[in-house]
């Protein structure tokens, strides 16, 4: 199903006119570190129609870091309630900030997608070094990371992201 997308300027107009409710589906630490004023936090793993704020005839706009998790949240919500007027913010909070619109916060934990990239990159470097200097059996770690990335790409579920999301540095609320 195709989810309608909107740009940051349109969302800004809708928010100023009181025509939309904005929901952030990132993790609590990401929201605490950097957020759009008025966005309500409902992490992707908790997204459900009954967890949404009261819409009172307003449009529902979902945002995340760059747009991918937002699209997943929109699809899930539309499966639960096909009558929702729902939009995904194209490019997420990154596009909002790039458009020169205000963000609150600053600093804090790295976004979850970058934490995943760092963990996988460090794991692959360690596996390569260990397989060269210790034992070729460590190449199995490369296969594990490759299988995990393939599964995440095919299903949209990243076990490493879920694991990192519950780490203490990602659990502080904003």
Closest by alpha carbon to 37, among 84, 88, 105? 105
Q: Quick one: pLDDT at residue 172? A: 58
Average confidence (pLDDT) per 10 residues, the chain, 174 residues: 94 97 91 92 92 93 94 95 96 95 78 87 96 96 94 86 84 56
Q: What residues does each domain of the chain span? A: 5-105, 112-170
Residues with active-site annotation: 64
Q: Quick one: pLDDT at residue 174? A: 44
| CATH topology for the 5-105 domain | Oxidized Rhodanese; domain 1 (3.40.250)
Q: Quick one: pLDDT at residue 42? A: 95
pTM of the entire predicted model:
0.71
Q: Quick one: pLDDT at residue 167? A: 85
SS3 per-residue string spanning the chain = CCCCEECHHHHHHHHHCCCEEEEECCCHHHHHHEECCCCEECCHHHCCHHHCCCCCCCEEEEECCCCHHHHHHHHHHHHHCCCCCEEEECCHHHHHHHCCCCCEECCCCCCHHHHHHHHHHHHHHHHHHHHHHCCHHHHHHHHHHHHHHHHHHHHCCCHHHHHHHCCHHHCCCC
Q: Quick one: pLDDT at residue 107? A: 60
Q: Quick one: pLDDT at residue 114? A: 84
């Amino acid at each position: 199903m195709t989810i309608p997308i909107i740009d940051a300027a349109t969302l800004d107009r809708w928010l100023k006119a009181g025509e939309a409710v904005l929901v952030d589906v990132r993790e609590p630490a990401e929201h605490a570190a950097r957020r759009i004023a008025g966005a309500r936090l409902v992490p992707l793993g908790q997204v459900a129609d009954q967890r949404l704020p009261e819409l009172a005839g307003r449009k529902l706009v979902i945002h995340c870091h760059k747009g991918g998790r937002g699209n997943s949240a929109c699809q899930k919500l539309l499966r639960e309630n096909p009558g929702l007027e729902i939009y995904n913010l194209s490019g997420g909070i990154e596009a909002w900030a790039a458009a020169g619109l205000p963000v609150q916060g600053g600093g804090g934990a790295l976004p979850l997608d970058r934490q995943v990239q760092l963990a996988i990159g460090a794991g692959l470097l360690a596996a390569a070094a260990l397989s060269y200097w210790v034992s070729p059996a460590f190449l199995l770690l490369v296969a594990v990371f490759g299988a995990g990335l393939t599964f995440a790409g095919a299903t949209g579920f990243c076990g490493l992201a879920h694991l990192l999301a519950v780490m203490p540095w990602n659990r502080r609320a904003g």
